[in-house]
Amino acid sequence: MTSSLASSNLATGPLLDVRQLSRLDQTGANQLLKPTDFILMAGAQIAITGASGSGKSVFLRTLALLDAPATGEILWQRKPVPSDLIPVYRTCVCYLAQRPALIEGTVLDNLQFPYTLKSLGKRAFNLSVATGLLAKAGKEASFLTKPAGDLSGGESQIVALVRALQLEPQVMLFDEPTSALDPQSAAAVESLVQHWFDAGAGSRAYLWVSHDPEQARRMSTRHLTMNKGMLELEQSV
Amino acid sequence: MNYQNLTAVDLAIAATLIFINGALSVMLKLGLERQLFWASIRTVVQLLAVGYILGWVFANAHWYVVLPLICLMTLVAGISAAGRGKRTYAGQLIDSVVSVWSSSWLVAAIGLFVIIHIRPWYEPQYAIPILGMILGNTLTAVSLGIERMTQELVSGRNTIEMILALGGTRWEAAQSAARQAVRAGMMPTLNQMTVVGIVSLPGMMTGQVLAGQDPESAVRYQIMIMFLIAAGSALGTVFAVLLTFRRLFSADHRFMIHRLVLRT
């Protein structure tokens, strides 16, 4: 099952190819996302800024196939994704929500949780990978036994990020991952992301929605803006 | 021991007991007099009506009389099961009716044909009260199950979407909520089974004893009924939760929370 979606060693090809993708709100009267053409190449680091409610999250959620588009299609490595492979697709194109959702239990329970899912197949939790990632965020091994309910907002965000990055997705869709964080935690998140991106040697890519223009510049090689559902190239820089 | 029939005068004496409630309501300023009055009237009118209808059905025991009646009973149970909870979704009424109908009829059929061996199959003296008891409990279980399911899905939305985003299937995302919902639906029956006979004497058994049946034989019937009720509510809850799941999660593994709307 996993094999049919796995990377085909085409490190240079488009990972995502999106044509005329649009979304409507529940009433069907308002366009949350205007018809959008978009190509995500391997190695791309893209930041998206824009007013809140402009459709940045909508775009990321639609790319992760979490919400149904009104029109258009999404090609993953040039092929459409059949319904039954959508969970596997989401392990390759992973959406990280703005508000981290942790399950009951310890940090370790949370990091192990994804490996209970069917679409991860035979992949197993690797403690040294997980502790290595946590160490990059300045967390010691004792952090693993901390109950999820006792974590601060910043710590929760780091756990959610490590939980996703350890699965080594090819594409990450970050939805304001540092919005509620102090500068120190934000720096930890940025360095974790940079580490995951560099480890892919040009085969990975991400979209980063940010409210902070400074961060957007720092974390991207291409800067887009979202304006009332319209995705545009940033003009000022 | 003979069976004492109650006359209209006896009932009138019993009805005066409602004045105790009325007096309390006035003294403690509960403001319940109107409701007490209408509740008493409804008790009398509804039960008299049922008595007449059942009397007529028993006297005309044909399948074309019994079948429409039990269909109507089932439909009403299914519709009332749909009327609870803060939130609803398009299709909840159908899901409730289907769950109540399929589970209660399946279990009642086992009770009536495999255990009691009634003949003919529509014998109203058995079919109506036994189906009725199963329906009453199944409807509670189904409505609790759906209510809990929608509640868990709303409160667990972030976790559900997190599981989907990490590559979970729609079932992996929903199963914690579904499990809670099935538990909630089965809980009243389980509680009842634990204390039956100690804290409460079930109505049916009491009735049989009053009618002159020996207690041991009445107990056997009650045991059978308890298991029929347990099976009916368990099946009904599972059906209802699965149907709710199918409505709120698409085949594309999307959680369609927007289909859940507040009841108006």
B155 in reach of chain A (CB within 8 A): no
- Same domain? B82 vs B153: yes
Question: Domain of A41?
Answer: 12-233
Question: Domain of B9?
Answer: 1-59
What tokens does B8 get? 């209209």
Contact A114 B172 (CB under 8 A): no
The position carrying tokens 């756990």 is A159
What is the C-alpha separation between A45 and A215, in angstroms, rounded?
A: 12
Nearest to A231 by CA among A45, A33, A23, A51: A33
Contact B166 A99 (CB under 8 A): no
- Nearest-Cα distance to chain A for B253, in Å, is 7
- Same domain? B189 vs B95: yes
pLDDT at residue number A8: 47
Q: Which residues of A touch B (CB under 8 A)?
A: 26, 64-68, 83, 86-88, 90-91, 94-97, 99-101, 103, 113-114, 117-120, 160, 163-164, 167
Domain's final residue, options B30, B59, B88? B59
Contact B158 A94 (CB under 8 A): no
Q: In the structure, what pLDDT confidence band is assigned to residue B203 with cuts at 50, 70 and 90?
A: confident
- Same domain? B208 vs B103: yes
Q: How far is CA B53 from the centre of its chain?
A: 21
pLDDT at residue number A28: 82
Contact A87 B164 (CB under 8 A): yes
User: Which range, of A39-48, A225-234, B50-59, B101-110, averages the lowest pLDDT?
Assistant: A225-234
A48-74 pLDDT tens trace: 999 888 999 999 999 999 999 999 999
Domain's final residue, options B44, B59, B74? B59
Q: Is the pLDDT of residue B170 over 90?
A: yes
Neighbours of B177 (CB within 10 A): 25
B140-162 pLDDT tens trace: 999 999 999 999 999 999 999 99
Q: How many domains does chain B have?
A: 2
* Residues A213 and A202: beta-carbon distance below 8 Å: no
- Nearest residue, CB atoms, B165 vs list A26, A94, A113: A94
ipTM > 0.85 (yes/no) = yes
Which letter, b or e, does each residue of B98-118 get, where b requires 16 or more Cβ atoms within 10 Å of its Cβ? Answer: bbbbebbbbbbeebbeeeeeb
* Residues B182 and B145: beta-carbon distance below 8 Å: yes
B99-118 pLDDT tens trace: 999 999 999 999 999 999 99
Residue of A nearest to B160 (CA): A101
- Nearest-Cα distance to chain B for A225, in Å, is 24
B169 in reach of chain A (CB within 8 A): yes
Q: Is the pLDDT of residue A2 over 80?
A: no
Domain's final residue, options B40, B59, B78? B59
Higher pLDDT: A46 or A4? It is A46
User: Which range, of A8-12, A115-119, A209-213, B14-18, averages the lowest pLDDT?
Assistant: A8-12
Name the DSSP letter for residue A5. Answer: G
Q: What's the whole-model pTM score?
A: 0.88
- Same domain? B12 vs B140: no
User: Which range, of A72-76, A87-91, A230-234, B178-182, averages the lowest pLDDT?
Assistant: A230-234
- Same domain? B94 vs B210: yes
- Nearest residue, CB atoms, B253 vs list A86, A96, A160: A86
- Nearest-Cα distance to chain A for B80, in Å, is 29
pLDDT at residue number A1: 39
- Same domain? B151 vs B257: yes
A23 forms bridges with which residues in the sheet?
A33
- Same domain? B130 vs B36: no
pLDDT at residue number A208: 96
- Same domain? B15 vs B91: no
- Nearest-Cα distance to chain B for A89, in Å, is 7
pLDDT at residue number A6: 54
Contact B162 A101 (CB under 8 A): yes
B52-81 pLDDT tens trace: 999 999 999 999 999 999 999 999 999 999
CA distances from B257 to A39, A96, A114, A121 (A): 29, 19, 23, 28
What is the C-alpha separation between A45 and A40, in angstroms, rounded?
A: 9
In chain B, residues with a C-beta closer than 8 Å to the C-beta of A66 are 161, 164-165, 254-255
- Same domain? B66 vs B48: no
Q: Rounded mean pLDDT of chain A?
A: 90
- Tell me what percent of the residues of chain A surpass a pLDDT of 70: 94
Q: What are phi and psi of B168, to 5 degrees?
A: -75, 150
Nearest to A2 by CA among A83, A118, A114: A118
Q: In the structure, what pLDDT confidence band is assigned to residue A235 with cuts at 50, 70 and 90?
A: low
- Same domain? B95 vs B126: yes
In chain A, residues with a C-beta closer than 8 Å to the C-beta of B250 are 68
- Nearest-Cα distance to chain A for B89, in Å, is 14
Q: How many domains does chain A have?
A: 1
Nearest to B253 by CA among A91, A101, A122: A91
| Strongest mean pLDDT among A231-235, B205-209, B256-260 | B256-260
- Residue A149 covered by a domain: yes
pLDDT at residue number A118: 94
B154 in reach of chain A (CB within 8 A): no
What is the C-alpha separation between A56 and A208, in angstroms, rounded?
A: 10
- Same domain? B53 vs B65: no
Neighbours of B11 (CB within 10 A): 11
pLDDT at residue number A168: 95
Look up the CATH number of the domain holding residue A59.
Answer: 3.40.50.300
- Residue A33 covered by a domain: yes
**Mean pLDDT for the stretch of residues B17-33:** 91
- Residue A83 covered by a domain: yes
Q: Is the pLDDT of residue A9 over 50?
A: no
**Mean pLDDT for the stretch of residues B32-58:** 92
B158 in reach of chain A (CB within 8 A): yes
In chain B, residues with a C-beta closer than 8 Å to the C-beta of A95 are 165
pLDDT at residue number A237: 46
pLDDT at residue number A233: 83
B168 in reach of chain A (CB within 8 A): yes
Name the DSSP letter for residue A47. Answer: E
- Residue A5 covered by a domain: no
Q: What are phi and psi of A24, to 5 degrees?
A: -110, 160
Q: Rounded mean pLDDT of chain B?
A: 93
- Residue A7 covered by a domain: no
Q: In the structure, what pLDDT confidence band is assigned to residue A75 with cuts at 50, 70 and 90?
A: very high
- Nearest residue, CB atoms, B167 vs list A96, A99, A119: A119
CA angle B154, B160, B162 (to 5 degrees): 135
- Same domain? B5 vs B120: no
A131-185 pLDDT tens trace: 999 999 889 989 999 999 999 988 999 999 999 999 999 999 999 999 878 888 8
In chain B, residues with a C-beta closer than 8 Å to the C-beta of A68 are 250, 252, 254
Pairing of strands B261-262, B87-88: antiparallel
Residue of B nearest to A84 (CA): B252
